[in-house]
Amino acid sequence: MRVLVTGGAGYIGSHAVRDLINSGHSVTVLDNLSKGHREAVDPRASFIVGNLSNQDLLIRTLHSHQIEAVIHFAGLIDVRESVHEPYKYYYTNLSLTLNLLYAMMKAGVKKIIYSSSAAVYGNPDINPIAEREHPEPITPYGRSKLMAETVIEDFGRAYGLSYIMLRYFNVAGASTDSILGEDHHPESHLIPRILHAANEGGVVEIFGTDYQTPDGTCIRDFIHVLDVARAHVLALNHLRPGIQEIYNIGSERGFSVKEVIAACEKATGKKISTIELKRRAGDPAILIANTQKIRKELKWMPLYPSIETIVQHSWHWHSTHPNGLEEPDDSAQIHH
């Protein structure tokens, strides 16, 4: 299938692009490189540097590359930043998604896979969390992702758009050959922050040690980036007229902050310094995915479920790329 991947120069997007091409799909990547890295784009993909705000570019690209489906990764992901700068998140994650959907309708492209987030669930009372749980996001980031989901659902009802929305839990890890890995600027995710501290002798902040969990720290569901990438390939193969679905992607296993730090210490062979701070407002004690729906309907299951494997792959990438990839283009606009 001929696929347009927005944000294909980013962390998850670049892994998915590689998997899509290896699976026989023809891929065009659109990314403005404000957060992504040109070096991360598979050389077998067509690559266009551009913004989702450019309606003419979107329609022209969809037509000229004879695109049959879109996988939409492009967006902003820093939960804490979204609280202080909500405009950026509603504009990028919501308005530009609407712009993309309008271009798709103009070009007659009626299939999309949307990169959503477990942040739409907010602070749920039930764990593991199934897709049927009522979403109640508690941050502008989570709300922007849920609003985009709602727009996609409305396009499905009005224009016959087929969609699969994938709600990720905590994505981590790197490709097994260490060519691709996680390199955000700034880095907000736990595992790379711990590994950076191991590399540079820094200190890892632990926000809250008084949760009702076995060791007092938050428990999260970590899923390997390769398993997330493979879910997109399976979703694309499943996507046909009339399909309108939402799926969680997670390991169904919870790991506490202290357990993740211990796994990083084991992988690196280094003692990692920590500092215990007060809880952050809105941080749930436990977030674990129920993924029975995608396992049953798409025959997906995680191939790398252990935190040890996730951390080992991530550490190998970080230790072989101590300076990361090339710097993102700061002159690019904030939106992809």
Tell me, what amino acid is at 15? H
| CB-CB contact of 62 with 38 (8 Å) | no
CA dihedral sign, ordered 91, 97, 99, 100: positive
User: Is 168 among the residues known to form the active site?
Assistant: no
| CB-CB contact of 317 with 174 (8 Å) | yes
Query: Going by C-beta distance under 8 Å and a sequence separation of 6 or more, which residues neighbour residue 268?
Result: 195, 198, 315, 319
The CA–CA distances, whole Å, from 238 to 14, 232, 270, 303 equal 21, 10, 44, 20
**DSSP 8-state secondary structure symbol assigned to residue 322:** T
Give the Cα separation of 60 and 51 in Å (integer).
Answer: 13
Q: Which of 114, 141, 163, 168 is catalytic?
A: 141
Phi, psi of 162 (to 5 degrees): -90, 135
Which residues are tagged catalytic?
141
